C-alpha cells in the first residue's frame, strides 16, 4: 500500500468515525466513570491541571461513596464501564481501601492513576486483594527532571520502587507508566525507554505537557512544534518495533500520525464516553477540563447520576468547532470536531493546541 493509499484509507475511516460521533452526541455510552477522591497530594507538579498538592480538599465521606456506588450499580450494568480512581493522590485517603473494597464487592471493575510514591509492598498487596485491575504510575523523566517537575525530592526513587512493588505483587491486568514530557526533558526519552524495557510493565504512555492548570504559568516547559514532531516520531518508531509505547488520547494529529502513535483515532471522549465526580460531589465530564461553573452538570449529593448523564452534558454533545471561529473554514473539522475539551480556552473560544498549521500535519 502506498502512502497516499494509506492516507485515503484513514480518511475514509475517519469519516465513519465522524458519523459515529454524531450518533454518540445523541446516544452517549458511559465507558469510563471517574471518581476524584481528593485534591490533596504529596507532590506539587508543575503541570497539574487541578492544582493539587498541600491544599484544602472538600471530600465526600465513605458512606456517601457507598450510596453513589449503590445508585450507579442500580442504574447501569457496572461490567459495561471502568471505574477510574484518581486525585490528587488517591492513596492519601485513609478510607481508600474501604471505598474500593466496597466497589469491588458491588462488582465494579476499577483502576487508578497514582504518583506511586505510597505503594509499599503491603499497599500493592491490598490493591490486588480489593480487586484493582489496572494502574498508571506517573514517572516524568529521569530522577533529577522528575523530582524537579514534581517539586518532590526523592519522588522518582519512591515512584520507581512503587512500580516495582506492583510488579512483584503480580496479579494485575495492566501496569502502565505514564510520562509527561516537556521542552526541558524531551531529550530523556531514549534513556527512559531503556529503563522501562528492563521493567516488566505492560505499557508506556508518553504524552506532552498540556497548556492547562499550572502549566500555563510555565510557558518555558511547553513543547514547540519541533518537540511535538520529535515526540510523535519517537512513539511511532517504537511501535513499529512492536513495543508497547503509546501516545495519549489528546488531539487530532493528521494523517501522518493518526493510528501510528496510538491504537485509535482521535475523538474527545468528554461527556460522550466519560463522566466524573469531583471530590466535592460535582458532576463533570473529563477531570482535565478547566473547572468553570458553566461546565458543572450537577451534584451527586443532590441528583441521581443517571438523570444527569441522560439529560445534561449538552455542552459536550456537539463539536467545539461550532464555538471556535478559526475552525469555521478548516478542512479538518469533520475529523477533529474542534479538538479536545481539556485544551480549549473557554474565554476566547479557541483551541490552545491545534496542529493544522504545523509542517508535519497532513490532511
Confirm if 96 and 37 have CB atoms less than 8 A apart. Answer: yes
Q: Which of 276, 258, 275 is nearest to 267 (CA)?
A: 258
The pLDDT tens digits along the chain (363 residues) read: 899 999 999 999 999 999 999 999 999 999 999 999 999 999 999 999 888 888 888 999 999 999 999 999 999 999 999 999 999 999 999 999 999 999 999 999 999 999 999 999 999 999 999 999 999 999 999 999 999 999 999 999 999 999 999 999 999 999 999 999 999 999 999 999 999 999 999 999 999 999 999 999 999 999 999 999 999 999 999 999 999 999 999 999 999 999 999 999 999 999 999 999 999 999 999 999 999 999 999 999 999 999 999 999 999 999 999 999 999 999 999 999 999 999 999 999 999 999 998 999 999
Q: How far is CA 150 from CA 121, 196, 201, 206, 322, in A?
A: 23, 20, 22, 16, 36
Q: Which residue has the cell 465494579?
A: 108
Look up residue 223 and give its DSSP letter: P
Q: How far is CA 287 from CA 231, 238, 273, 277, 279, in A?
A: 24, 29, 13, 8, 11
Q: What is the pTM of this model?
A: 0.96
Confirm if 206 and 235 have CB atoms less than 8 A apart. Answer: yes
Taking the C-alpha atoms of residue 258 and residue 265, their distance in angstroms, rounded to an integer, is 6
Confirm if 109 and 78 have CB atoms less than 8 A apart. Answer: yes
Query: What's the chain's Rg over C-alpha atoms?
Result: 20
Cell numbers at residue 233, please? 516520531
Cell numbers at residue 191, please? 534513556
Amino acid at each position: 500500500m502506498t502512502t497516499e493509499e494509506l492516507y485515503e484509507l484513514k480518511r475514509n475511516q475517519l469519516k465513519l468515525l465522524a458519523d459515529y460521533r454524531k450518533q454518540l452526541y445523541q446516544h452517549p455510552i458511559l465507558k469510563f466513570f471517574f471518581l476524584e477522591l481528593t485534591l490533596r497530594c504529596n507532590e506539587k507538579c508543575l503541570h497539574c491541571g487541578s492544582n493539587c498538592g498541600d491544599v484544602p480538599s472538600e471530600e465526600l465521606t465513605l458512606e456517601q461513596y457507598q450510596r453513589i456506588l449503590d445508585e450507579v450499580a442500580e442504574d447501569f450494568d457496572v461490567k459495561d464501564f471502568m471505574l477510574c480512581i484518581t486525585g490528587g493522590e488517591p492513596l492519601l485517603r485513609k478510607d481508600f481501601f474501604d471505598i474500593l473494597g466496597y466497589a469491588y464487592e458491588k462488582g465494579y471493575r476499577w483502576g487508578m492513576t497514582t504518583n506511586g510514591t505510597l505503594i509499599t509492598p503491603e499497599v500493592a498487596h491490598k490493591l490486588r486483594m480489593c480487586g484493582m485491575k489496572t494502574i498508571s504510575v506517573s514517572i516524568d523523566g529521569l530522577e533529577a527532571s522528575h523530582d524537579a517537575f514534581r517539586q518532590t525530592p526523592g519522588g522518582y526513587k519512591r515512584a520507581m520502587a512503587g512500580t516495582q512493588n506492583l510488579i512483584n505483587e503480580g496479579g494485575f491486568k495492566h501496569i502502565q507508566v505514564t510520562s509527561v514530557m516537556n521542552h526541558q526533558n524531551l531529550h530523556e526519552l531514549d534513556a527512559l525507554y531503556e529503563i522501562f524495557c528492563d521493567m516488566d510493565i505492560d505499557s508506556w504512555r508518553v504524552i506532552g505537557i498540556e497548556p492547562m492548570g499550572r502549566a500555563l504559568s510555565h510557558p518555558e516547559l511547553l513543547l514547540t512544534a519541533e518537540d511535538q514532531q520529535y515526540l510523535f516520531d519517537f512513539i511511532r518508531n517504537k511501535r513499529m518495533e512492536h513495543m508497547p509505547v503509546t501516545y495519549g488520547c489528546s488531539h487530532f494529529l493528521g494523517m501522518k500520525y493518526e493510528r501510528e502513535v496510538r491504537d485509535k483515532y482521535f475523538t474527545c471522549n468528554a461527556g460522550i464516553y466519560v463522566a466524573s465526580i469531583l471530590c466535592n460531589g460535582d458532576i463533570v465530564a473529563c477531570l482535565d477540563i478547566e473547572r468553570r461553573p458553566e461546565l458543572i452538570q450537577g451534584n451527586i449529593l443532590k441528583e441521581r447520576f443517571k438523570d444527569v448523564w441522560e439529560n445534561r452534558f449538552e455542552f459536550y454533545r456537539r463539536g467545539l468547532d461550532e464555538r471556535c471561529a478559526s475552525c469555521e473554514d478548516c478542512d479538518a473539522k469533520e475529523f477533529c470536531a474542534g479538538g479536545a475539551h481539556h485544551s480549549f480556552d473557554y474565554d476566547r473560544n479557541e483551541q490552545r493546541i491545534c496542529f493544522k498549521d504545523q509542517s508535519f500535519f497532513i490532511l
